[in-house]
Amino acid sequence: MDHRIRRVRDADVETVVTLVHELAEYEKAPQECHLTAGQLRTALFGPAPALYGHVAEVDGRIVGFALWFRNFSTWRGVHGIYLEDLFVRPEARGTGLGRALLAALAGECVRHGYARLEWWVLDWNPAVGFYTSLGAEAMDEWTVYRLTDEPLRRLAADPAGSA
Q: Is residue 137 part of a domain?
A: yes
Which residues contact residue 40 at a Cβ distance below 8 angstroms, ignoring those fewer than 6 apart? 13, 16, 17, 20, 51
Listed range (6-15, 55-64, 126-135, 154-163) with the worst mean pLDDT = 154-163
The answer to whether residue 102 scores a pLDDT higher than 70 is yes
Q: Note the pLDDT tens digit of each residue in 25-48.
A: 999 999 999 999 999 999 999 999
Q: Is residue 27 part of a domain?
A: yes
Annotation marks residue 131 as catalytic: yes
Q: Is residue 144 part of a domain?
A: yes
Q: Is residue 162 part of a domain?
A: no
Print the domain residue range for 50.
Answer: 3-157
Which residues contact residue 54 at a Cβ distance below 8 angstroms, ignoring those fewer than 6 apart? 5, 6, 7, 8, 65, 66, 101, 104, 105
Q: Is residue 115 part of a domain?
A: yes
Q: Pick the catalytic residue: 26, 114, 131, 145?
A: 131
> Is the whole model's pTM more than 0.95, yes or no?
no
Q: Is residue 69 part of a domain?
A: yes
Q: Is residue 107 part of a domain?
A: yes
The answer to whether residue 1 scores a pLDDT higher than 70 is no
Q: Note the pLDDT tens digit of each residue in 76-92.
A: 999 999 999 999 999 99
Residue 115: give its domain's CATH number: 3.40.630.30
Name the domain count of the chain. 1
